[in-house]
Structure 1
Amino acid sequence: MSGLVDALVIVTVAVLVIARQFRADRIDGERRWWLLPAILTAVALREPGILDSQHPTASALLLGAELLVGLATGAGWAWTTRIWSEPDGSLWCRSSKASAAVWAVGIGLRAGLFALGAAAGVHHDSSALLLGLAGTLLVRSGILAWRAQSLRADAIPSRAYGDSTTRPAGKERV
């Protein structure tokens, strides 16, 4: 895939994700939250130029730093997202202003990594950015699923044996 197509994929996914994060979104336990990060990872790893052949060590360090920034951004985003339960038992989430700050810091750090790579003469392919975005989405979705599961377990009272049976409305004798 060309660099232009990679850039379009990155921008499209980022715009969709950022735009959707400030809308209330229902959390569905059946959703495959890992699918989009898996697709982005497959697209990123398909390209042969993920590491610069002339600067393999520096390129690998920059890629590792990109992945760490992506994972930290995803974790920060997930922990700053508000999750609540509606009276019908459905779970909802919406990002907060702190989530926007996490995104801004993450984007700033990524821009700094690209600038550092450019200053060192390391060719930093867009596949690294795709991998970082996949890590961000994977960690965010995984933490939200975990938080939702623990909230769902607290919200639904456990039933005891015999709760579904009806009891006679008449007088009880002792």
Structure 2
Amino acid sequence: MAGLVNALLIVAVVVVVIVRQFRARPIDTGRRWWVLPVILAVVALREPGILDAHHRTESALLLATELLVGLGTGAAWAWTTRVWTEPDGVVWARSTKASAMVWFLGIAVRVGLVALGAFIGVHQDSSALMLGLAVTLLVRAGILVWRAQSLSPVPSTGGAARAYGDGMARVTRKEGV
């Protein structure tokens, strides 16, 4: 039953995160951006079935690969997210089409890892997927906070900071939280 609960938790977190990230949102560098990923990691690590008892080496390699995929997906997602500063000094972020492609590629690679594990007979628990998701979210949030903190006023632009995607048309709307 814990596997079903973990799977539902993973799906809920992914849906909420994806929906929220494709809306323009302010980046609050002072908040605890690391809390949700840490909670997911703790929930994943408390499960005893994160490694297959009969195939420890293979399952450890699959888990390490899952974590590397999570690291790469989180970094790519953060770097494809548009970040800008409004005239009032608030830093905003919004995922782009490239961010969606990163998500689809990350999901495809994870499905491939699950298929590979099934092919070689390794029992994979949902906790490995949850740990990979935690790494993805932690890396993305960390890079976005770092990018937001690195934006500083530029005198030649009238006080506004340069941002990734400045040459892009601004078709974003602010949404209240």
- Tell me whether the two structures share a fold, i.e. TM-score over 0.5: yes
Aligned to 2:17: 17
How many matched pairs? 157
TM-score with structure 2 setting the length: 0.86
> What's the Cα RMSD here?
1.5
What letter matches 1:130 in structure 2? M
Query: Which whole-Å CA distance do the structure 1 matches of 2:11 and 2:153 have between them?
Result: 37
Q: What are the within-5 Å matches in structure 2 for residues 45-124 of structure 1?
A: 45-124=45-124
What letter matches 1:84 in structure 2? W
Q: What are the within-5 Å matches in structure 2 for residues 132-171 of structure 1?
A: 132-152=132-152
**What is the DSSP-based 3-state SS (H/G/I as helix, E as strand, rest coil) of the residue aligned with 1:105?**
helix
Deviation at 1:153, TM superposition (A): 6.4
Unaligned residue ranges in structure 1 (runs of 5+): 158-174
Query: Which whole-Å CA distance do the structure 2 matches of 1:22 and 1:81 have between them?
Result: 9
Query: Which whole-Å CA distance do the structure 1 matches of 2:154 and 2:70 have between them?
Result: 30
What are the superposed Cα offsets for residues 84-132 of structure 1, whole Å, 9 maximum, x if unpaired?
0011000100000000000000000000000000011100110000000
Deviation at 1:21, TM superposition (A): 1.1
What letter matches 1:58 in structure 2? E
TM-score with structure 1 setting the length: 0.87
Q: Which runs of 4+ in 1 moved over 6 A?
A: none
Matched, 1:41 2:36: no
Deviation at 1:152, TM superposition (A): 3.8
Unaligned residue ranges in structure 2 (runs of 5+): 161-177
What are the superposed Cα offsets for residues 10-58 of structure 1, whole Å, 9 maximum, x if unpaired?
0000000111111001011211111001000000011111000000000
**What is the DSSP-based 3-state SS (H/G/I as helix, E as strand, rest coil) of the residue aligned with 2:60?**
helix
**What is the DSSP-based 3-state SS (H/G/I as helix, E as strand, rest coil) of the residue aligned with 1:92?**
strand
Query: Which whole-Å CA distance do the structure 2 matches of 1:115 and 1:154 have between them?
Result: 50
Query: Which whole-Å CA distance do the structure 1 matches of 2:113 and 2:11 have between them?
Result: 18
